[in-house]
């Protein structure tokens, strides 16, 4: 019984700790780092890097000699070779043992270029992995800003309910005092109900945004997940560099550009690999062999004696000179050159696409900055107009329609300000990512 109680206490304790950890608000940095540590796409990219490391190790090991051991047992019926290395008309049995090795002395620089290509492929795989991580950073930042935007919309919807609830209470008092009719109270209650529907939809959108983020982070459940709003007060509206400056920095650090550069160098090395088919190859081989022969039905020399007598070391060299291979090498070289041209075009396309992305992000940031500044002015003006309309409406100098119009304008201006602030923050973060920050 005591063990059961202790187990229940420990279980509750760990559940409480897990809940507390999950309910702790997440910053953008913590979201990004957690995604990089747990996202399955990142893990697949890291696995591709490990495969390239194995391929490079294989290429490096090809400079070493290869050794092998062998044993065989053969039976001959009729005429066969004897222990004296002469043919006899008798059934024979032959047992052979051997140890041999081979070493490539010259392969037309194939091994050297294979190692070079393996290194370039590994660097390209590392760059691809970094690109995958950058894509995750962008996706997490997008999801993070979507959560913040929906949080702002929830605040606006909650403010709308507060305003409508206050007016319902005020109008109810006036109705009970006989100063207004019940129709105006009913209309305001209907407006309050619609505001509650708006809040419900805003909260549902927030839950969906949180769900998208937790799925991106590979979290088991979105329950208890929350984010910390960044300090946008430090985000100056004039911190943007020109697209050309950002591009110069991006080319030097962008993983996608580096990956294509490595593939271009690998394609150039592949031409040298194809040209190795024109070179002669020289290899050395050597080993130890011995045999045991037995004439079936006759007495033969002892097993150990024969193995000692027939012990034979050997060494040899093999030179292969290509003369004509149906133009296969020539076609392989032409194919490798065409692959290099295609890769150079691909590398140039990546650079142009990067510059286009930076330009789009820059001008989106400029537009978001202008929208942020103008939305701030519009929100302040709309708020002042609403506060004035609210006072005049309560004094009976404004109609309900005029009050609703002022309220809706204010709430829409607040929503626009939140959207512009989030959009500018995201675009600035994207440009900083292009710069390698």
**Tokens at residue 20, please?**
């507390």
Q: Compute the distance between CA of residue 392 and CA of residue 382 in angstroms, rounded to an integer.
A: 15
How many other C-beta atoms are found inside a 10 Å radius of the C-beta of residue 176?
Answer: 10
Map tokens 């202790």 to a residue.
Answer: 6
Q: What is the pLDDT of residue 2?
A: 40
Q: How far is CA 428 from the centre of its chain?
A: 21
At 96, is the secondary structure helix, strand, or coil?
strand
pLDDT at 164 over 70: yes
Model confidence over 305-331: pLDDT tens digits?
A: 888 888 899 999 999 999 999 999 999
**Tokens at residue 132, please?**
């995958």
At 86, is the secondary structure helix, strand, or coil?
coil
Q: How far is CA 412 from the centre of its chain?
A: 37
Model confidence over 102-152: pLDDT tens digits?
A: 999 999 999 999 999 999 999 999 999 999 999 999 999 999 999 999 998
Q: What is the pLDDT of residue 260?
A: 95
**Tokens at residue 31, please?**
């979201």
Burial grade of 262 (CB within 10 A; 0-12, 13-18, 19 or more):
buried
Model confidence over 281-298: pLDDT tens digits?
A: 999 999 999 988 887 767
**CA-based Rg of the chain, rounded to a whole angstrom?**
39
Q: How large is the average pLDDT for residues 368-372?
A: 89
Q: Compute the distance between CA of residue 405 and CA of residue 411 in angstroms, rounded to an integer.
A: 10
At 76, is the secondary structure helix, strand, or coil?
strand
Model confidence over 52-70: pLDDT tens digits?
A: 999 999 999 999 999 999 9
- Cβ atoms of 231 and 193 within 8 Å: the answer is no
The model's pTM: 0.79
Model confidence over 205-217: pLDDT tens digits?
A: 999 999 999 999 9
């Amino acid at each position: 019984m005591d063990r059961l109680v202790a187990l229940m206490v420990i279980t509750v304790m760990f559940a409480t700790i897990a809940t507390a950890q999950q309910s702790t608000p997440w910053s953008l940095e913590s979201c990004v780092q957690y995604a990089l540590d747990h996202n399955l796409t990142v893990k697949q990219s890291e696995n591709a890097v490990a495969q390239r490391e194995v391929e490079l190790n294989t290429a490096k090991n090809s400079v070493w000699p290869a050794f092998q051991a062998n044993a065989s047992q053969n039976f001959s019926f009729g005429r066969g070779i004897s222990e004296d290395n002469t043919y006899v008309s008798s059934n024979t049995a032959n047992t052979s043992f051997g140890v041999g090795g081979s070493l490539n002395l010259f392969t037309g620089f194939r091994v050297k270029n294979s190692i070079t290509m393996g290194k370039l492929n590994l660097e390209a795989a590392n760059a691809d992995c970094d690109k995958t991580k950058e894509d995750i950073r962008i996706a997490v930042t997008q999801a993070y800003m979507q959560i913040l935007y929906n949080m702002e919309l929830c605040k606006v919807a909650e403010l709308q309910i507060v305003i409508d609830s206050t007016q319902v209470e005020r109008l109810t008092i006036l109705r009970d005092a006989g100063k207004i009719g019940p129709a105006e109270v009913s209309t305001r209650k209907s407006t309050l109900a619609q505001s509650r529907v708006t809040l419900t939809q805003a909260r549902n959108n927030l839950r969906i945004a949180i769900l998208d983020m937790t799925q991106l982070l590979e979290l088991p459940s979105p329950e208890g997940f929350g984010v910390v709003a960044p300090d946008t007060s430090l985000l100056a509206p004039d911190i943007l560099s020109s697209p050309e400056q950002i591009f110069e920095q991006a080319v030097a650090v962008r993983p996608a550009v580096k990956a294509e550069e490595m593939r271009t160098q690998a394609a150039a090395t592949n031409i040298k690999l194809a040209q190795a088919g024109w070179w002669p190859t020289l290899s050395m081989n050597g080993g130890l062999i011995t045999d045991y022969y037995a004439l079936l039905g006759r007495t033969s020399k002892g097993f150990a004696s024969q193995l000692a007598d027939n012990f034979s070391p050997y060494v040899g060299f093999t030179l292969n000179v290509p003369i004509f291979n149906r133009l296969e090498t020539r076609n392989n070289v032409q194919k490798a050159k065409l692959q290099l041209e295609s890769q150079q075009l691909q590398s140039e396309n990546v650079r142009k696409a990067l510059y286009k992305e930076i330009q789009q992000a820059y001008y989106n940031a400029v537009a978001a900055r202008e929208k942020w500044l103008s939305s701030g002015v519009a929100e302040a003006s709309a708020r002042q107009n609403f506060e004035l309309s609210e006072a005049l409406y309560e004094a009976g100098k404004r109609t309900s329609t005029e009050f609703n119009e002022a309220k809706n304008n204010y709430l829409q201006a607040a929503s626009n300000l939140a959207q512009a602030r989030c959009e500018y923050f995201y675009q600035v973060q994207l440009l900083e990512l292009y710069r390698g920050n």
